[in-house]
């Protein structure tokens, strides 16, 4: 699962690079139990979930600010672009719904979480 947040300066070029990184980032164990295989190498499934709250600014006060997230129109536009690219390049992909309240379950089989920036 990849939680996807669009920020104001992001472009289609950033989205292309992000998908490339998601598909090729070597985070799965090989036969020597080393993180050396990509999602494409293991033919795994991919779930892309829009998550603007990743851009939350929590430095002040007791309430997050989301000014570091792209406006909803831009976020939706680039997430739809990501969906189109993913369908084209990696058919084993499912998607969350932009702007929806979703119930998403995650089972993490390792002590690792990565932040990828394009």
> Which residues are known to be catalytic?
51-53
Report how far residue 70's alpha carbon sits from residue 62's, in angstroms, rounded to the nearest whole number. Answer: 22
Pair 15, 74: CB distance under 8 Å: no
Residue 29, H or E segment: strand 28-29
DSSP conformational letter for 53 = G
Pair 12, 28: CB distance under 8 Å: no
Report how far residue 22's alpha carbon sits from residue 26's, in angstroms, rounded to the nearest whole number. Answer: 9
DSSP conformational letter for 57 = B
């Amino acid at each position: 699962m990849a939680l996807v947040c669009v920020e104001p300066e992001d472009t289609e070029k950033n989205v292309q690079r992000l998908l490339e990184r998601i598909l090729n980032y070597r985070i799965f164990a090989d036969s020597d139990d080393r993180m050396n295989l990509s999602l494409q190498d293991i033919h795994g499934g991919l779930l892309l979930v829009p998550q603007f709250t990743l851009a939350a600014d929590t430095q002040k006060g007791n309430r997050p600010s989301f000014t570091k997230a792209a406006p909803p129109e831009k976020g939706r536009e680039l997430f739809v672009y990501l969906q189109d690219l993913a369908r084209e390049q990696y058919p084993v992909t499912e998607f969350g719904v932009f702007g929806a309240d979703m119930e998403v379950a995650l089972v993490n089989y390792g002590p690792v979480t990565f932040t990828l920036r394009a």
